[in-house]
Amino acid sequence: MVDLNEVIESNKHIASSFPTGLVAVFVGGTSGVGEYTVKKFASRVTNSRVYIVGRSQEAAERILDECGKLGPSSKYEFIRADVSLMKVVDQVCTQIKSKESAVNILFQTQGSMAFTSTTAEGLPVATCLPLHSRQRFIVNLLPLLHNAKSLRRIVSVGAATYEGPIDLDNISGQGFALRKWRNQLSSCQSLLLQRLARQTPDVSFVHNVPGVVRGGIMREVPADTGLGLRAIMAISGLLMPLIETPVDECGERHLFLATSARYPPAEGNEGADGVMLGQDTPTARGLDGHAGSGVYSLTSKGDSAAPKVENILRQFEENGTAAKVWEYVAADFRRTTGTEIGS
């Protein structure tokens, strides 16, 4: 576990560790982990440019006002968008590209538990947000991350460290029990990040699990959901005050994931890969089992996944499962937008 005091101390040095003018994109930044992290970012940096992508104009106006007070020297812009649609993701990325030549942080939290809903493009909402939408943002914005002079980091907040079996006949997990769906989705997310990291070894990729955090993901659970999930929701509501991660800690820890040299890319950037580590903080172990290898599956306290996760993902690479997961997502990209590589 990375001690919270060490996390906070690292975050205090963000402004002095990088040149002014960091550019950060927060997708899903109008509630939950995204909101908590963007506010911490605003309070720790100067003269930066921040893009918040989400659906709620009302929430965005509140958050923009709060960020402006926390970090008045930086600029904040809200892009209202339904990022469950791949064509909309392309439009958002085109808008960002028209204003920026480089991006330092891409922070993604978009997700939903609307298990019975389908988008206008024919994709299941609960799966396309963490898989299709996040990968589409990454492939679109990777050139800008590569252009950054310092700090090139992608953070995807999901169900890291819970990677499990994948049913190639049902990659979307339609009809799965919640735990089976979660574990499969986690594996798919990590495999996709590994593939993209091989193409851009100078960018680091973090997949983490946030722990129990107050957010908006439960609001779209269908009314006719199964008894098991309803029971989990009821129990979580009762236990929330006892087990949840405090909002302030959540924001600090996720900002640490986005800025600390504990999670460097496979190919270093000459000391500009993150805030320098404290004496007692080692570089994290990547998904290939080696320290500092560029792709990380992390616990809610910032620790690397157990070796069994590394073994599972290695087997998926060796037996062709990883390639089939990518082709599943890429085929939907081609069908919905006409291109695999993005805008």
Tens digits of per-residue pLDDT, 188-215?
999 999 999 999 999 999 999 998 887 6
Q: What tens digit of pLDDT does each residue of 108-133 get?
A: 999 998 899 999 999 999 999 999 99
Amino acid present at 218:
M
How does 253-289 read in b/e, with b if 16+ C-beta sit within 10 Å? Answer: bbbbbbbbbbbbbbeebeebbbbebbeebebbbbbee
Answer whether residue 223 shows pLDDT above 70.
Answer: no
The pair of three-digit structure tokens given for residue 233, joined into one six-digit string: 């929701």
Q: What tens digit of pLDDT does each residue of 236-284 get?
A: 444 444 458 999 999 999 999 999 999 999 997 666 789 999 877 899 9
Share of the chain above pLDDT 90, in %: 83
Write down the residue that tokens 């989400």 correspond to.
54
Q: What tens digit of pLDDT does each residue of 307-330 get?
A: 999 999 999 999 999 999 999 999
pLDDT of residue 221: 45
Query: Are the beta carbons of 217 and 113 closer than 8 angstroms?
Result: yes
Q: Per-residue confidence at 235, pLDDT binned at 50, 70, 90?
A: very low
Answer whether residue 228 shows pLDDT above 70.
Answer: no
pLDDT of residue 239: 47
Q: Give the domain ranges of the chain.
A: 4-337
pLDDT of residue 343: 66
Q: CA-based diameter of the chain, in Å?
A: 54
The whole-number average pLDDT for the span 335-343 is 87
The whole-number average pLDDT for the span 71-79 is 98
Amino acid present at 206:
V
Which one has a higher pLDDT value, 342 or 312? 312
The whole-number average pLDDT for the span 42-59 is 97
Answer whether residue 3 shows pLDDT above 70.
Answer: yes
Q: What's the CATH number for 4-337?
A: 3.40.50.720
Task: List, in order, residues 6 or more apart from 196 with CB less than 8 Å away.
Answer: 135, 138, 139, 142, 205
- Strand-by-strand arrangement of the 295-298 sheet: 75-80, 49-54, 23-27, 105-108, 153-157, 204-208, 295-298
